[in-house]
Amino acid sequence: MTKKAVFLDRDGTIIVDYGYVHKPSQVELLPGIIEALVTLKKLDFELIIISNQSGIGRGYFTKKDVDLVNAHLQSLLKAHGIELSGIYYCPHSPDDRCDCRKPKPALILQALKDHGIDPKHSYFVGDKWTDVQAAIRAGVPPVLLSKEHTISMNTIPVLIVDSLLEWTKLIDQGDM
Ligand SMILES: [Mg+2]
Ligand SMILES: [Zn+2]
């Protein structure tokens, strides 16, 4: 059977983006996230986080901090029966010119390979244009979360919705 996934940005997509979230106490799920992720699991999507954590490369916090935040997030989700298949993050600052910081697609490509996932039956949901670019480069259909539905930075068709929950309702109804 084809394995499919919803790749998810973390900050601003699953949890509130307070800017360089680095403590478990700062982890706050966005409204509707539990319902959205439960729906995606019901539809047989694996859930994989792809996140830029340049605060590490900038010296604001450590990998350990990020791992603790991620572990806390996972425990919040697990309380609702939601298991993530993986969390991938780039620890570099933009100055490092690495291959893994979104909009580069390396982390998505790695996750596709690690989990044997078909990109064409998968989605990437994020709140920044760099998420969309990374998704397109990895061959995964992008979904952009934005209140502004008139983003015209490109000629590429991108689905824009208000929230992860709004989008999951669309796919649950078979509207996509
Ligand atoms: Mg984000
Ligand atoms: Zn990187």
Q: What CATH number is attached to the domain comprising 154?
A: 3.40.50.1000
pLDDT in tens, 88-124: 999 999 999 999 999 999 999 999 999 999 999 999 9
Lowest-pLDDT choice from 21-35, 37-51, 59-73, 152-166: 152-166
Q: Given pLDDT bands bounded at 50, 70 and 90, which one contains residue 176?
A: low
Distance CA 115, CA 128 (A): 25
One-letter amino acid of 172: D
What is the reported pLDDT for 149? Answer: 66
Percentage of residues in the chain with pLDDT exceeding 70?
Answer: 94
- Beta strand segments in 60-173, E: 86-90, 123-126, 142-145, 159-161
* Percentage of the chain modeled with pLDDT above 90: 89
101 alpha carbon – ligand 2 mean position (Å): 4
Pick the catalytic residue from 11, 65, 127, 131.
11
Express each pLDDT in 68-96 by its tens digit.
999 999 999 999 999 999 999 999 999 99
Mean pLDDT for 10-23 is 97
Structural domain boundaries enclosing 64: 4-172
For residues 28-42, b (16+ Cβ closer than 10 Å) or e, as one string? eebebbbebbebbbe
Q: What tokens does 58 get?
A: 């900038």
Count other C-beta atoms under 10 Å from residue 162's C-beta. 12
> Which residues lie closer than 8 Å to 25 by C-beta, 6 or more apart?
none
Length of the chain: 176
User: Is residue 155 very low, low, confident or very high in pLDDT (cuts 50, 70, 90)?
Assistant: low
Residue 154: per-residue pLDDT: 58
The average pLDDT across 18-42 equals 97
Q: Is the pLDDT of residue 1 over 80?
A: no
From the CA of 10, the nearest ligand is 1
Kindly give, in sequence order, each residue whose CB lies less than 8 Å from that of residue 40, ignoring residues fewer than 6 positions away: 6, 47, 168
In this predicted structure, the answer to whether residue 12 has a pLDDT above a threshold of 80 is yes
Whole-number pLDDT of residue 142: 95
Report the chain's C-alpha Rg in angstroms: 15
Q: How far apart are CA 51 and CA 11, in angstroms?
A: 8
3-state secondary structure of 88: strand
Q: Is position 11 annotated as part of the catalytic site?
A: yes
Distance from residue 159's CA to the centre of ligand 2 (Å): 26
Nearest to 73 by CA among 115, 11, 129: 11
Tell me how far the alpha carbon of residue 49 lies from the centroid of ligand 2, in angstroms. 15
Indicate left, alpha or beta for 101 from its phi (over 0: left) and psi (-120 to 50: alpha): beta
Q: How many domains, the chain?
A: 1
Paired strand residues for 22? none
Q: For position 158, what pLDDT does the model report?
A: 84
pLDDT of residue 152 exceeding 90, the answer is no
